[in-house]
Structure 1
Amino acid sequence: MNRVPVSSSNLSSVGYDESNQVLEIEFHGGRVYQYFDVPQRIHQELMNAGSHGKYFHRNIEDKYRYDQVK
């Protein structure tokens, strides 16, 4: 999945597979997680958020099933 870099003290890059509703996040340090059944709206709000990290912690972390892929 292609990810785009984001300006964040916590997140390094974000990707989204719209057809499968999979959100992929790379954190500083190299860990990569995929979050499943994430609506496109959540991805858009994350990308448009003033703070990507705060949005992630409030709206994604522990709210969607996920797997660490790297």
Structure 2
Amino acid sequence: MDYFSGNRLDSAVGDDGMPILRSSAIHRAEYNSGSRTLSIWFVESGGPYDYYGVPDAVYHGLINARSAGTYFNDNIRDRYRSNR
């Protein structure tokens, strides 16, 4: 099982190795490439909320986006099955 963490210049990594995004909408994200599951913790509603079948490129796009919230709305929300 392979886990990726973000490498955005303006992101930090928590004690658990997960990226903490500097975003007003998304606090942190975790990606499991084996199951293609993206887990997101939102600032307002918490989490994790899991999104299934997400390609690696979409996760990296989220981590590297200028606005993680906008990227989520445009590329993830309502496009992947989730537990949300």
TM-score, normalising length from structure 1?
Answer: 0.89
RMSD: 1.5
Structure 1 stretches of at least 4 aligned residues deviating more than 3 Å after TM superposition: none
CA distance, structure 2, for counterparts of residue 47 and residue 31 of structure 1:
17
Corresponding residue to 2:75 among 47, 59, 67: 59
How many percent identity over aligned positions? Answer: 34
TM-score, normalising length from structure 2?
Answer: 0.75
Corresponding residue to 2:50 among 34, 49, 67: 34
Aligned to 2:13: none
Aligned to 1:11: 26
Aligned to 1:23: 38
State which structure, 1 or 2, has the greater radius of gyration over its C-alpha atoms: 2
Q: As a proportion of its length, which structure holds more helix?
A: 1
Please report how far the alpha carbon of residue 31 of structure 1 lies from its aligned counterpart in structure 2 after TM superposition.
2.6
How many residues of Structure 1 are paired with residues of Structure 2 in the alignment?
68
Unmatched runs of 5 consecutive residues or more in structure 2: 4-15
